[in-house]
A and B are shown apart, each in its own frame.
Chain A
Amino acid sequence: MLLQSLPMVFILAGLALYVVLGGADLGAGFWQLATVRRSNARDIRDYAHRSMGPVWETNHVWLIFVLTVFWTSYPKAFGSIMSTLAIPLFIALLGIMARGAAYALRAGATTPRESGRIDAMFALSSVLVPFALGTAIGAIATNRVPVGNAAGDMWSSWLNPTSIVIGVLAVATSAYLAAVYLAADAGHDQEHTLERSFRLRALGSGVAAGTTAIGAVFVLNADNHRLFHSLLSGRALPAVIVSSLAGLATLLLVYRRRYEPARYGASLAVAAIIAGWALSRWPTILPGLTVHEAAAGHDTLVCVVVAVLGGAVILFPALVLLFRLTLAGRFRDAEHIEVEERTVTRVGPNARPLARAAGACLIAGFGLLNIANATWAHAVGVACLIGFVGLGFCAIVLPALYREAATR
């Protein structure tokens, strides 16, 4: 049972990380939209863009992680969800495309008008993505996705009161997370005007997100009384309480300009909602399909668990490195590192023996790969051909470049 559940725990953890980190990214886009006509709008937009620049792609990859682990471990549930919710998920996909494109395009913008237009695209898509994904979550939560190939209703599954209110909640939460993070970054950089702007936004959006969450509870009660009941009783209740307390505490911390703890408090509040949601339905994924029933076979699950844990061992140090560099502001100020002027006397490698060796590799590769039939011969042949490219490259490029450099 543990083996069948573990990948779902990974998926939920990945989802929480996506909502917290990717959500903060999406929220940064929201603030670009929401600050069009203000005196320091330009600064706010640039700052939001700059803080997220180095980490944007990384935060986004959590979604890919969720998808791949999901379809490997719970294929039937994945197929059912993706086919019934094709429309909101396709809309989210378009939003992700537009965001990514805007991110890539901004590198080329030179005038305020150009970057303004790109920011508008970025911002609109940043609202679209969490909303669409939120409606999809709402559809699953209210059991509107049955098992089967597009077995649910293509429209009403995600266009219903609960889905819409969860979509709005996702947008508000993203905006809130982003404002808290950006206020923290601005405080760290001693950008006091920006810090004030983001602090106000954090407080405003925090209140808005909290109000939406409370509103959501009422909508849920009207739409699906059973889900309402399961959220507010038993296993899910502690998580709901943790989330509410963390949300309130974060507001207080932001108010008192204690941004670093606020960053974590906000994340906790959001992650706790996901935990509560999962606990309230456990072990059901879709109506009539439990985690255990949906799970793939033993070998696959073992491979997934080993791959995820092994991957995490490599991934987390790298992630920590990236966030430490980003949060420490290392990417913001260039310290000019002088190029060490060297007087190079060596002319470079002697091309002739390299070229001969390359030729020998090519002939050997041809014989082993194209004439011989044994598998081992093919392997050696491929190695020879790689050797041909490598040696040939050294034989041509290094002497050529060194000669050029000598005549500069």
Chain B
Amino acid sequence: MSALPFASAFPPVDQHYLLQARQMQALSFAVHIPLVAFGISFPVMVLFVEWLGHRRGDELYLTLARRWSKVMITLFAVGVITGTVLSFEMGLLWPNFTGTFGPVFGLGFAIEGFSFFLEAIFIGIYVYGWQRLSPRAHMLSGVPIVITGVTGSLLVIAVNAWMNHPGGFSLRNGKVVNVHPLRALLGNSYLWNELIHMYVAGYIVSGFIVAGCYAFCRLRGRWTRYERTALTIPLTIAALAAPVQMLVGDWVAREVAQEQPIKLAAIEGLYKTTRGASEHLLGWYSDNQMKGAIAIPHLLSILTDHSWNGRVQGLDTVPASQRPPVNVVHWAFQLMVGIGSLLALVSVIYLGVWIWRKRLPESPWFYRLLVVSGPLAVVALISGWVVTEVGRQPWVVYRVMPTAAAVTGAHGIPVGYGVLAFAYLVVAGGLLWVLRRLARAPLNLSAEPPNQLQAA
């Protein structure tokens, strides 16, 4: 137990299962994050399709929007569950974190709560309001869903940015004083790069997953105007977002290099502070060096410092107890960047075919690639969060509060972990079952039964 530089709400406890508590939290995040990606981006797509339907007077678009909206509310319902788990875990697993810093970061969740509230209200009105509200009122009821999808995740990411780059309070005589929650959450330079990175990821993930479903239809031989429309819209967004993400990612990495040099050192497995550092691809970190990696000379310095011989701080600048687990962070980063590059390549193929041939690609291999792109995008998304969160270790509030000091003193963490993992398996299985059912519902373009969602 490392000594705290300040007085936390409760004295430190001896928690034997800290690692399990962290894994339980990580599992809960990993389950929730893909649903957040849909929450950010999917309502925009649904609303766009409905708008097209009204504007063009085309029943096909309206049918598509209606079917997508059922998927949207199903994912939202599951997101409510997984989000609730997270807010419970703030207290169940980390009472000393909320107990000490609740006044600094808690406001973000409180405002997010309202945003979530409005989202729940309007998603209910939107989905149950099909053919019961006038087209204009129905479109309008969808707008708050789009807005709250943005504001809600903005505030949660603000909290995460604060944990990585804490501010808005000071420590005096070991006490947390001078708390300015708004400055802590919104006056944080770190917020913006995390936010943009996550938003773009949201569009990539949902775009590739939705497109992947219709790519699967095509491989199965179902390829009418309905499927082509349903593939073109999400795929175009994802294909434009994927290359953009590489540029955004470069920006994020430079911010990390500046504010969290140890995280960057862990990403690269850089032990000694180096000038003109090489970028390492693949490889395994042991005995304080990268082994078996492909080194690209000077690239790391160029990327992080924009100079040939820029200085990059190494892991040796902090004691071993303050270094994150290097291989987890390094490999999560490799996975994220590798998949991101692959998705960007898929995107360039798609955009290229559009620009030069003015049509969709025809090779079945392209569609096979698309089918796997969706799950890969989710892997990249989760890997990215692993880099952020594991890279921050051993701190829960970066360089202020160690994770070990935040954990609960309650017993039975492994039991809770096991039960929760089982519950997630059941929920995930159920979700897949429902989505398959929704996809298999007969596509009746002229007369969709009005009450399908309730009278299942």
Interface of A with B (CB < 8 Å)? 46, 49-50, 53-58, 60-61, 63-65, 67-69, 71-73, 75-76, 78-84, 86-87, 89-90, 93-94, 96-98, 100-101, 103-110, 115, 148-151, 154, 296-297, 299-300, 303-304, 307-308, 311, 314-315, 318-319, 321-322, 325, 330-331, 333-337, 339-342, 344, 355, 362, 365-366, 369-371, 373, 375, 378-379, 381-382, 385, 388-389, 392-393, 396-397, 400-402, 404-405, 408
Known: A318-B122, A405-B56. A67 touches B10 (CB 8 A): no
CB–CB B251/A75 < 8 A:
no
Partner of A80, one of B99, B228, B453: B99
CB–CB A331/B113 < 8 A:
no
The docked-state distance in angstroms from the alpha carbon of A84 to that of B412 is 12
Separation in Å of the B366 CB from the closest CB of chain A?
A: 16
The docked-state distance in angstroms from the alpha carbon of A101 to that of B196 is 31
Known: A67-B91, A72-B102, A401-B232. A335 touches B132 (CB 8 A): yes
CB–CB A64/B240 < 8 A:
no
Interface residue? B171 (CB, 8 A) = no
Count residues of chain B with CB under 8 A from any CB of chain A: 119
CB–CB B128/A104 < 8 A:
no
Known: A75-B100, A330-B132. A49 touches B454 (CB 8 A): yes
The docked-state distance in angstroms from the alpha carbon of A103 to that of B75 is 11
CB–CB A397/B179 < 8 A:
no
Known: A86-B410, A321-B125, A337-B135. A57 touches B247 (CB 8 A): no
Known: A321-B125, A370-B247. A83 touches B430 (CB 8 A): no
Task: For B196, list chain A residues within 8 Å (CB).
Answer: 382
Total contacts A-B at CB 8 Å: 344
Partner of B76, one of A50, A57, A371: A57
CB–CB A68/B113 < 8 A:
yes
CB–CB A369/B251 < 8 A:
yes
Task: For B132, list chain A residues within 8 Å (CB).
Answer: 330-331, 333-335
Please name the residue on chain B nearest to A65 by beta carbon: B113
Separation in Å of the A337 CB from the closest CB of chain B?
A: 5
Interface residue? B288 (CB, 8 A) = no
CB–CB A57/B120 < 8 A:
yes
Interface centre among A366, A371, A385 (most CB of B within 10 A): A385
CB–CB A61/B454 < 8 A:
no
CB–CB B134/A50 < 8 A:
no
Separation in Å of the B228 CB from the closest CB of chain A?
A: 6
A and B contact pairs by CB, cutoff 8 A, 9 listed: A54-B128, A63-B84, A64-B83, A72-B102, A75-B98, A82-B92, A90-B88, A101-B81, A311-B114
- Across chains A and B, which 9 residue pairs bring their CB atoms closest together, nearest first? A72-B106, A82-B91, A79-B99, A75-B102, A334-B450, A296-B103, A108-B437, A79-B95, A342-B57
The docked-state distance in angstroms from the alpha carbon of A104 to that of B101 is 35
CB–CB A100/B80 < 8 A:
yes
Separation in Å of the B444 CB from the closest CB of chain A?
A: 14
Separation in Å of the A82 CB from the closest CB of chain B?
A: 3
Known: A75-B9, A107-B434. A149 touches B87 (CB 8 A): no
CB–CB B114/A297 < 8 A:
no
Interface residue? B281 (CB, 8 A) = no
CB–CB A101/B124 < 8 A:
no
Task: For B124, list chain A residues within 8 Å (CB).
Answer: 53-58, 322
Partner of A150, one of B101, B104, B247, B408: B408
Interface positions, chain B 179-220, Cβ under 8 Å from A, are 179-182, 189, 192, 196, 203
Interface residue? B250 (CB, 8 A) = yes
CB–CB A365/B247 < 8 A:
yes
CB–CB B9/A107 < 8 A:
no
Task: For B99, list chain A residues within 8 Å (CB).
Answer: 75-76, 78-80, 149
The docked-state distance in angstroms from the alpha carbon of A263 to that of B411 is 43
Interface residue? B320 (CB, 8 A) = no
CB–CB B241/A389 < 8 A:
yes
Please name the residue on chain B nearest to A83 by beta carbon: B95
Interface residue? B295 (CB, 8 A) = no
CB–CB B56/A75 < 8 A:
no
Task: For A382, list chain B residues within 8 Å (CB).
Answer: 192, 196, 248
CB–CB A150/B410 < 8 A:
yes
Task: For B450, list chain A residues within 8 Å (CB).
Answer: 334, 336
Please name the residue on chain A nearest to B450 by beta carbon: A334
The docked-state distance in angstroms from the alpha carbon of A223 to that of B159 is 42
Q: Which secondary structure dominates chain B's binding surface?
A: helix
Task: For B180, list chain A residues within 8 Å (CB).
Answer: 299
Partner of A366, one of B109, B177, B247: B247
CB–CB A154/B116 < 8 A:
no
Task: Choose, from B271-279, B310-318, B396-404, B419-427, the stretch at the interface.
Answer: B419-427
Partner of A336, one of B95, B131, B135, B456: B131
CB–CB B96/A79 < 8 A:
yes
The docked-state distance in angstroms from the alpha carbon of A322 to that of B70 is 18
CB–CB A96/B84 < 8 A:
yes
CB–CB B423/A97 < 8 A:
yes
Separation in Å of the B146 CB from the closest CB of chain A?
A: 14
The docked-state distance in angstroms from the alpha carbon of A170 to that of B330 is 50
Task: For B91, list chain A residues within 8 Å (CB).
Answer: 67, 71, 78-79, 81-83, 89
CB–CB A79/B113 < 8 A:
no
Task: For B427, list chain A residues within 8 Å (CB).
Answer: 97, 101
Partner of B120, one of A58, A73, A115: A58
Interface positions, chain B 41-78, Cβ under 8 Å from A, are 52-60, 62, 70, 73-74, 76-78
Separation in Å of the A136 CB from the closest CB of chain B?
A: 12
Interface residue? B13 (CB, 8 A) = yes
Task: For A86, list chain B residues within 8 Å (CB).
Answer: 92, 408, 410, 412, 416
Task: For B6, list chain A residues within 8 Å (CB).
Answer: none
Partner of A68, one of B78, B110, B232: B110
The docked-state distance in angstroms from the alpha carbon of A307 to that of B108 is 10
Separation in Å of the B341 CB from the closest CB of chain A?
A: 16
Please name the residue on chain B nearest to A329 by beta carbon: B132
CB–CB A150/B95 < 8 A:
yes
Separation in Å of the B112 CB from the closest CB of chain A?
A: 7
Known: A83-B409, A401-B229. A300 touches B247 (CB 8 A): no
Please name the residue on chain B nearest to A62 by beta carbon: B117
The docked-state distance in angstroms from the alpha carbon of A408 to that of B445 is 13
Separation in Å of the A319 CB from the closest CB of chain B?
A: 6
Task: For A369, list chain B residues within 8 Å (CB).
Answer: 247-248, 250-251
CB–CB B134/A337 < 8 A:
yes
Known: A72-B106, A315-B114. A82 touches B95 (CB 8 A): yes
CB–CB B107/A388 < 8 A:
no
Separation in Å of the A40 CB from the closest CB of chain B?
A: 17
The docked-state distance in angstroms from the alpha carbon of A297 to that of B106 is 12
The docked-state distance in angstroms from the alpha carbon of A80 to that of B100 is 11
